[in-house]
Amino acid sequence: MLVGCWLGATATVGWSRQSSPSDEGDAVALARQFVEEGNYEQVIETLKGLPEDKAGFEAHRLLGAAYLRLGRLPEARQALRTAVRLRAVDGETHCLLGDVYLAEQKFGLAAGSYAEAQRLGSDTPQLHYQAARAAYELGNYIGKMETRTIAGGVAGRVQDGCYLIEPVPEERDRFFVAPSDSAIYHVQRALDGGLDTPRIYLLHADIWLAAGRHVPALDIYRRIEETVPEEERARYNYHYALACRGADDLEGYLDRMKRAIALDEPRYGKHLITAYRRVADYYSAEGDLKNYIRYLELAAKEAPASADLHYLLGNALFEAGRTADASRQWRLTLELEPDHADRERMLELVRMITSEP
């Protein structure tokens, strides 16, 4: 589990680790040693043994962080909320609470906790990465875009408390910008802070894709291909396919969609029919009847029980002069959907075609 905040250095203790400290200071110092060792179960055992009137802010914060590390989210939430009540001005605790909310998919609460952590002075690359994830899940990709004058501004950077998306045409030092609560702002802050992991680049590309900016998304997807974790490769190829479609790269769209399906057929297999249909529609809009028919045929092959696809294919084949093939497709349509809205026209044309010499 990714955790955006963690706690400071350990303290030195002068008693046996087998003892059971009853004073919070002793217990916290011992618990911090267990934190350093990654022994979170022992952190919990040490701090849970404190009398209720001896457990203060530090004990609850350490306890909440240990529960979080172990994925025990309700207990982590309870301990960290208690820590916040005891000391509301500690940004690190708000950040940890944000991590709990993010893991629980309570994205609005997570975003609020990260914002409060920053207001109180917490400012780490990992915090910004977690805040970017929360904003992304909330659909806050580039936020409420506005224009600002920023002297010496550079597109693609964070300056003056906002992310500079692109220059305003023909206006010097004027930029379209994204606000400081947007996913793109936070992911750039994390990158600027030196966070360098495959997942942050994948999130960066996904933000651009979700914002409908396919060119920058494609640029990142291309660059990170060799570093994408195995467990993310199916989703990566699916999103790559969507970016290709948005950029009118039809070959890339189908290629990446097929790769995603090969890696995770149960999740993405259903999208191949849609992909063929979208490519067919593209060629229809271009007036390319041959390729329109080609991709409708591929879609119909994948979905032989789709009356709609057989109907469209029959119409396209008839337009292309392939009347016998059109007749077969219309017959299939009526077998699958006897009460089709265009039934009478299809029947009339089938009769005409079959009575031809």
Greatest distance between any 2 Cα atoms in the chain: 105
Q: What is the 3-state secondary structure (H, E, C) of the chain?
A: CCCCCCCCCCCCCCCCCCCCCCCHHHHHHHHHHHHHHCCHHHHHHHHHCCCHHHCCHHHHHHHHHHHHHCCCHHHHHHHHHHHHHHCCCCHHHHHHHHHHHHHCCCHHHHHHHHHHHHHCCCCCHHHHHHHHHHHHHCCCCCCCCEEEECCCCCCCCEECCEEEEEECCCCCCEEEEECCCCHHHHHHHHHHCCCCCHHHHHHHHHHHHHCCCHHHHHHHHHHHHHHCCHHHHHHHHHHHHHHHHHCCCHHHHHHHHHHHHHHCHHHHCCHHHHHHHHHHHHHHHCCCHHHHHHHHHHHHHHCCCCHHHHHHHHHHHHHCCCHHHHHHHHHHHHHHCCCCCCHHHHHHHHHHHHCCC
Its pTM stands at 0.86
Half-sphere exposure of 60 (CA within 13 A, CB side): 22
- The answer to the question of residue 73 being in a domain is yes
Q: Give residue 236's domain range.
A: 201-258
Residue 180 lies inside a defined structural domain of this protein: no
Same domain, 111 and 206: no
Q: Is residue 299 part of a domain?
A: no
Helix 289-302 and helix 307-319, axial crossing angle in degrees, nearest 10: 160
Please indicate, yes or no, whether residues 2 and 118 belong to a single structural domain of this protein. Answer: yes
| pLDDT score at 8 | 47
Last residue of a domain, one of 122, 153, 181: 122
Question: What domain count does the chain have?
Answer: 2
- pLDDT at 152 (0 to 100): 92
Q: Which residue, of 107, 122, 137, is where some domain finishes? A: 122
Number of CB atoms found within 10 A of residue 70's CB: 15
pLDDT band (50, 70, 90) for residue 117: very high
Question: Does 104 map to a domain?
Answer: yes
Instruction: For 272, list phi and psi in degrees, rounded to 5.
Output: -65, -40
Do 278 and 242 touch, CB atoms closer than 8 A? no
Evaluate whether 23 touches 47 at the Cβ level (below 8 Å): no
Among 85, 101, 122, residue at a domain's last position: 122
Does residue 136 fall inside a structural domain? no
Model confidence at 6, pLDDT cuts 50, 70, 90, reads low
- What's the rounded mean pLDDT across residues 330-340? 95
Question: How many whole angstroms separate alpha carbon 293 and alpha carbon 277?
Answer: 10
Q: What is the CATH number of the domain that holds 59?
A: 1.25.40.10
Residue 191 counted as domain residue: no
137-171 pLDDT, tens digit per residue, is 999 999 999 999 999 999 999 999 999 999 999 99
Residue 29 lies in a domain: yes
In a domain, 3, yes or no: yes
Per-residue confidence (pLDDT) for residue 324, from 0 to 100 = 94
Tens of pLDDT along 193-249? 999 999 999 999 999 999 999 999 999 999 999 999 999 999 999 999 999 999 999
Average pLDDT (326-353) is: 95
Q: What is the pLDDT of residues 35-94, one digit of tens each?
A: 888 889 998 888 887 766 667 898 899 999 999 999 999 999 999 999 999 999 999 999
